[in-house]
Amino acid sequence: MAINLTDLQPIKASTDLSSYTSFIYGTPKIGKTTFVHKLYGDRVLFIATEKRHKVLVGAHVQYVSSWIEYLQVLAQLRNKTIQERYDVVAIDTVENLYQMLEAYILSKYNKTEFGQVDWGKDWTDLKKDWKDGLQMIERLGYSPVFISHATQITEKIPVSGILQEQVNETMTLKEDKKTKEKYYEFAKYVPDLKDKVMAPINKMVDNILFMTVTADESGQEHRVIHLRETLQWKAGSTFEGIAPVIPLSADSYKKAVEEAIGLIDDDQKKSEKESIGMQEEELDYDALMTEARELAMKFHSAGRMEEVQRIVDETFGAGNKLTEATKHQVQPLFVAVQKMKETL
């Protein structure tokens, strides 16, 4: 698929819920997995890292116990039949999958801990494989949903750095013994993941949902979803007008999203599922090589072979031959063919 900016159309918001990627975290047994199942039904495939889905009746669950098995699942997700079968792929849970990758990298280098490989190659592989392994879900045309647990951390904010209306009963006013500076100390809910684990996910997802239990004025407890960031928890949504907190149920979330999308003008919406990610194009090596040879013959007939060599040098590096390009070099071969067509 060649890029053609003349065919570019303005973005329209999809009303299909499976168009949007999400990170969901919350307290234990709050109902994160059940929520995802009810939200997407049989259009979601769970990649589960532990066997605790025994009563999730009707769910499609593939258990994995190692990074190798996860890669095997990714390989099968390329299958056209599978792509037609599912819209969403849910990782349940993220932290366990990351531990599997760590074990895989250590086994790869026959090491017992990170930092024992020259030039930090183990750390480099860990970062790259984690990012690539998660992004592949989206590249294959599925909407990823990531499920994780929550933890609490202690935050400190100077009095001068907070608005008075943001102060609440969960905060404690303290004074630094050395500087005498006053600050508020409070607990904040965040995903139970290290920053390096969360970093690529943060860049991928449209929505971050935090699930917890709250109590109303009468003391009655309710399960809720927080959709907006506050000082007390991490959350966020791509939908500008969405409610900041809703009851914890798939129907409530669907309604909240519908209402938020309803604020968008009708001519800026579409019913089709959004084509997410950067789905890789299947380049035909044999067809490209045949086309490259045909183009080279035209350059030869015109006495312009030095231009072909210049293009090859620019694309593959000096001293290489176009006819020696391998199947692993199909992408630069595609670039070279495009340059040759533009130059003729």
pTM of the complete model: 0.79
Report the relative pairing of strands 22-26 and 143-158 from DSSP bridges: parallel
Q: Token digits for 209?
A: 């949902």
For residue 236, give the DSSP letter. B
Largest distance between two CA atoms of the chain: 88
Instruction: Give the C-alpha separation, 190 to 229, whole Å.
Output: 11
- pLDDT in 10s for each residue of the chain, 344 residues: 567 888 888 888 888 888 899 999 998 899 999 999 999 999 999 999 988 888 899 999 999 999 999 999 998 998 999 999 999 999 999 999 999 999 999 998 888 999 988 898 899 999 999 999 999 999 889 999 999 999 999 999 999 899 988 998 889 999 999 999 999 999 999 999 999 999 999 999 999 999 999 888 888 899 999 999 999 999 999 999 999 999 999 999 999 999 999 888 888 888 877 765 444 456 789 999 999 999 999 999 999 999 999 898 888 877 788 888 888 888 788 888 988 988 88
- pLDDT score recorded for residue 279: 46
Q: Token digits for 40?
A: 């997407």
Q: Give the distance, in angstroms, between the CA of residue 254 and the centroid of all CA atoms in the same chain.
A: 21
Tell me the C-alpha to C-alpha distance, in Å, between residue 94 and each of 23, 97, 184, 235, 299.
Answer: 10, 5, 32, 17, 53
Please state, as a whole number, how many other Cβ atoms lie within 10 Å of the Cβ of residue 184: 20
- pLDDT score recorded for residue 1: 53
Q: Token digits for 56?
A: 């999730």
Please state, as a whole number, how many other Cβ atoms lie within 10 Å of the Cβ of residue 267: 8
Instruction: Give the C-alpha separation, 119 to 241, whole Å.
Output: 48
Query: DSSP H helical segments within the chain, as ranges?
Result: 32-40, 67-76, 80-85, 94-108, 121-139, 195-204, 250-262, 285-301, 305-316, 330-343
- pLDDT score recorded for residue 123: 94
Q: In b/e form, how buried is each residue of 315-325, taking b as 16+ CB within 10 angstroms?
A: bbeeeeebeeb
- pLDDT score recorded for residue 276: 55
**Which contacts (CB < 8 Å, 24+ apart) does range 223-226 have?**
223/30, 223/31, 223/247, 223/248, 224/248, 225/252, 225/253
Instruction: Give the chain's length.
Output: 344
Cβ atoms of 141 and 276 closer than 8 Å: yes
Helices 94-108 and 121-139: crossing angle in degrees, nearest 10, is 130
- pLDDT score recorded for residue 2: 63
Instruction: Give the C-alpha separation, 179 to 159, whole Å.
Output: 13
- pLDDT score recorded for residue 323: 87
Report the relative pairing of strands 245-247 and 221-226 from DSSP bridges: antiparallel
- In order, the DSSP letters of 123-172 are HHHHHHHHHHHHHHHHHTTPEEEEEEEEEEEEEEEEGGGS-GGG--TT-E
Q: Token digits for 68?
A: 């190798």
Our CA angle for 228, 233, 234, nearest 5°, is 65
